[in-house]
Structure 1
Amino acid sequence: MDEVERKVFVLDTNILLHEPLAIYSFKEHDVVIPMTVLEELDRIKDTKRDVSRDARVAIRALEDIFHDATPEQIAEGIPISRHGESLGKIAIFADYEVTETVHAFADKAGDNRILNGVLFLQSHYAPREVVLITKDINMRLRAKGAGVYFVDDYRSDQLIDDVRMLTKGFYEFPGSFWERVGECYSEKSGRSTLHTLPAELFEAPFINQYLLDKDSDFAGRVQEIEDGSVTLKDIGRERLMHRQAWGIHPKNIYQGMALDALMDPSIDLVILTGPAGCGKTILALASALEQVIEKGMYDKIIVTRNTPEIAESIGYLPGTEEEKMLPWLAAVTDTMEALHKNDVCTDGSMKYIYDKANIQFKSINFMRGRSIQNAFVLLDECQNLSASQIKTIITRCGEGTKLVCSGNLAQIDSSYLSPVTSGLTYIVERFKNFEGSANIYLNGVVRSRLAEFAEENL
């Protein structure tokens, strides 16, 4: 590539907090880290925030590159490579030496230094493009206003550009499915009926995708895709609606598909997305109780989630790890009460169930290094996790373990994540062609008419 065509990417601090190894994502182009970014990483690495670990990883990655370099080499840039592939250069820029010309942020001296540094580099490297990469929308606006020509978000980890394009895990055909198909090859496999159809009948099919139609009772699930043909299992809408777990029956076809996936032992990972009140938690917990207590398929239920604060901190909580987690997992305990509200003694029933099902409440912060065997794991509020955090949980799952990830992309509390960069979005796209996973978007609020109105109008 010609020297002029190689771009210079200047990284903001939030990029290295979002993806600590982002320096390796720019291929043959050059990367510049302003000194202000190193100062902010240093300040963050000693805090107790979730991102302190990411700050330390980013600092160690830079140390590995620059540990033998001279000051002149660091300023000029050092060639980097990864997995045997030669990339561009990386340099550290002393932005505090630049004479300040922009006061875009009256109360943020660090952001001003970064902006002034980018403006200096823009003229220094001309005619090469100098691009400021930041996840801070306001920083992008201020940079444009200050005269930075090229400003962008970090997109290398985004599998989709618009969350509305995220797969819902099912496809609904207009009209009648069988009128569209005509004749096909069908066979019996145990208690199931399988149909083999040409792939052109489907729009981007993937394994374990559910298929419905509007004008008949057809419902199926894709079993196999090969050589231009799609094999699907005929389930039937009525059978989906008659699924049950722990006394819970589906209230709509979306819950029916979710319950079918949750109760299928051949599916190791179930991803449930959808608005608040659509039934994600109650379906997951009911199916967990059914399979652990009634069917004995798993030895225990592990419930875990991230613990972001969306309001003022309530300080340190007393008790054991499980007791500390209870306020965060109130959604699960509320659901447990709802499942047993008609029992003669609700408290007695719940205590018995907690012991019988060996339900454990665990913090995601202490999951690293574990190996979870023969368990039903419920990972709640996944929208607040990054892709690396979710990977930490999924890679803990050993033999005989089923994982259910649930979340609502409209309720992200983390200032470092957006719907398209959430770990929940990431795994929906990454696992959609994995035969051991299923994803269902639970369309429709069934909690109450008040919740439904709020979801649609607020």
Structure 2
Amino acid sequence: MIQRVADTRRKAYVLDTNVLIHDPNALLNFEEHQVLIPMTVLEELDKLKSGKASVSAECRAAIRMIDRVLGEAEPEQIRQGVPIWRDAERKHLGTLSVLMDQPEGSVQTLTNSLNDNKIINLLVSLQVADQQTRIVLVTKDINMRLKARACGLAAEDYTNDQLVSDIKQLSRGYASFEGSFWDRFSRVDTVQAIGETRHYLKRADWEDQVFANQFVIDEQGFIGRVLSVDAEHIVLRDLNHERLMSQEVWGLRPHNILQAMALDLLRDPQVHLVSLTGPAGSGKTILALATAIEQSIEEKRFNKIIATRSTPPLAEEHGFLPGTEEEKMDPWLGAISDNIEALHLHDESPKGSIEYVKERANIQFKALNYIRGRSFQKALILIDECQNLTPHQMKAIITRAGEGSKVICLGNLAQIDTPYLTPTSSGLTYMCERFKGFAHGGHIQLEGVPRSVLAEYAEANL
């Protein structure tokens, strides 16, 4: 049996560009250790900071954070390490240094044709020169980590904002119980309120995790929704299965109980943030859109519907396609347009109905980079493809919601298109975990593919 010897050397963490884009405050999260930023990384941030790409704001935020830490430090101080002050406690933990480019005659393991290789070569030379310090490259680029390890360096992913280690740990938004749910409780107080039945349960009798707006289902047909949780009690709203399945929004009814639970959250005016995850075709977009249209046109709850999503790198400048912002965004928000058409497929004049809905509901397609800095009042903000957003980007969008607004986040964690994100590091996962238990937020993981028999078979077998 091989015994591993603990490495007691001091550590120096080297941050790659993608880490600072993922979290502009990343350099504050390495406690007492030394943080190093190569000059190549600063140059990459400089190139990206002035564009219209969705990462430009993160680059500028990272540059401002580096500048705030370095302050008026002299060049020698920057090379040796500037203390990273903690504002709340007025003490410093760790230091920040900028690494200059590789000097002549230093160790060169890889060709310097790529910026990644320049950084790795610099760190190899640094590690050879200082054996008392363990140099650790922190990057979200898997291939760069592989190359660094092949060159004898330690390399890690940035996981500070990963709240779950396995995507299976992410809450589904509901708890399923075998047999009867009520067999687990020693005492239940039931109160008939206005238009609803509430059950008051002892918190000590519920062994599993429980949070506000979590649903409860059992094998005997009971369905409930947790309204509040404290140290003593759990308040549960009794939901009737038939009533849930008979819900209708803009002519649309749920196909299964998960869609019905999602509609219950979407329609509730007290729930200001709803996230829906699930496979393609599970009904995320059409449920959200039908609810948004009805609440905007019939109920007059919202003045407009803001639809947005992350766009592929080619489209980030939004200058390759002709027309207005809406026309440029239309190819990337095609799912919204497709579902509006699906909701009016059987109308006498589908085209006229679609134009009527777009105008009356005031549906606006917005590019992600144009949402920053704005504040939307009495608006329903529909964010599609959330799995491709970082936690920092998710925060930037959700904080745009003003008084009377609601945010609906849609995504499929099995279809992440961004190279530096995984299901556990996605902003959608981060948001779902952070808002778990929020009294005005809810989450449902949809299952099944009601889109068509073909789509369901493809999802299961391809």
- Shorter-chain TM range is over 0.9
**Match for 2:96 among 73, 90, 103?**
90
**What residue ranges of structure 2 are gaps of 5+ in the alignment?**
1-7
**Match for 1:293 among 294, 297, 321?**
297
**Match for 2:413 among 409, 415, 420?**
409
Is 1:374–2:382 an aligned residue pair? no
Conserved 8 A contact 1:98-1:117: no
In 1, distance between residues paired with 2:352 and 2:260?
30
Query: Deviations along 1:197-232, whole A, 9 cap, x unmatched?
Result: 12232411011001111x211011111111232111
Conserved 8 A contact 1:192-1:233: yes
Return 204-213 or 369-378, whichever deviates more: 369-378
What amino acid is the match of 2:180?
S
Per-residue deviation, 1:337: 0.9
Conserved 8 A contact 1:303-1:361: yes
Conserved 8 A contact 1:194-1:234: yes
In 1, distance between residues paired with 2:102 and 2:51?
24
Per-residue deviation, 1:306: 2.2
Map of 1:448 onto structure 2: 452
What amino acid is the match of 1:141?
L
Conserved 8 A contact 1:273-1:408: yes
Per-residue deviation, 1:368: 2.0
In 2, distance between residues paired with 1:338 and 1:85?
59
Per-residue deviation, 1:79: 0.9
Query: Deviations along 1:91-145, whole A, 9 cap, x unmatched?
Result: 11224116454534x5744322322322333344433432211111111122222
Conserved 8 A contact 2:52-2:316: no
What amino acid is the match of 2:327?
E
In 1, distance between residues paired with 2:315 and 2:365?
22
Computed over aligned residues only, the root mean square deviation of the Cα atoms, in angstroms, reads 2.2
Shift in alpha-carbon separation, 1:402–1:60, aligned structure 2, 3 A: closer
**Match for 2:142 among 118, 137, 140?**
137
Conserved 8 A contact 1:102-1:112: no
Map of 2:388 onto structure 1: 384
Per-residue deviation, 1:397: 1.2
Per-residue deviation, 1:47: 4.4
**Match for 2:206 among 183, 201, 207?**
201
**Match for 2:120 among 90, 115, 118?**
115
Is 1:282–2:286 an aligned residue pair? yes
Conserved 8 A contact 1:95-1:116: no
Is 1:212–2:217 an aligned residue pair? yes
What amino acid is the match of 1:300?
K
Per-residue deviation, 1:85: 4.0
Conserved 8 A contact 2:141-2:419: no
In 1, distance between residues paired with 2:108 and 2:380?
55
- TM-score normalized by structure 1? 0.92
In 2, distance between residues paired with 1:242 and 1:389?
37
What amino acid is the match of 1:57?
A
**Match for 1:65 among 69, 72, 78?**
69
In 2, distance between residues paired with 1:311 and 1:47?
13
Is 1:75–2:73 an aligned residue pair? no
Is 1:16–2:20 an aligned residue pair? yes
Query: Deviations along 1:24-81, whole A, 9 cap, x unmatched?
Result: 1111111111222223223333444322332232223223333522222111111121
Map of 1:396 onto structure 2: 400
Shift in alpha-carbon separation, 1:311–1:411, aligned structure 2, 3 A: farther
Map of 2:243 onto structure 1: 239
Equivalenced residue count is 452
In 2, distance between residues paired with 1:203 and 1:21?
34
Return 171-180 or 244-253, whichever deviates more: 171-180
What amino acid is the match of 1:188?
Q
Map of 1:192 onto structure 2: 196
What amino acid is the match of 1:340?
H
In 1, distance between residues paired with 2:394 and 2:77?
38
Query: Deviations along 1:396-439, whole A, 9 cap, x unmatched?
Result: 21111111111111222222322222211111011111100000
Conserved 8 A contact 2:52-2:369: no
In 1, distance between residues paired with 2:47 and 2:313?
21
Per-residue deviation, 1:270: 0.7
In 1, distance between residues paired with 2:123 and 2:138?
10
Per-residue deviation, 1:173: 1.0
Conserved 8 A contact 1:310-1:413: no
Q: What pairs up with 1:16-55 in 2 under 5 angstroms?
A: 16-55=20-59
- TM-score normalized by structure 2? 0.92
Shift in alpha-carbon separation, 1:379–1:429, aligned structure 2, 3 A: same
In 1, distance between residues paired with 2:132 and 2:337?
61
Conserved 8 A contact 1:36-1:96: no
In 1, distance between residues paired with 2:175 and 2:104?
56
What amino acid is the match of 2:395?
K
In 1, distance between residues paired with 2:421 and 2:318?
23
SS in 2 for 1:272: strand
Map of 1:305 onto structure 2: 309
Shift in alpha-carbon separation, 1:55–1:28, aligned structure 2, 3 A: same
In 1, distance between residues paired with 2:320 and 2:95?
45
Return 150-159 or 52-61, whichever deviates more: 52-61
Conserved 8 A contact 1:378-1:405: yes
In 1, distance between residues paired with 2:15 and 2:316?
31
Per-residue deviation, 1:196: 1.5
Shift in alpha-carbon separation, 1:7–1:98, aligned structure 2, 3 A: farther
Conserved 8 A contact 1:98-1:116: no
Shift in alpha-carbon separation, 1:294–1:341, aligned structure 2, 3 A: same
Per-residue deviation, 1:310: 7.5
**What residue ranges of structure 1 are gaps of 5+ in the alignment?**
none
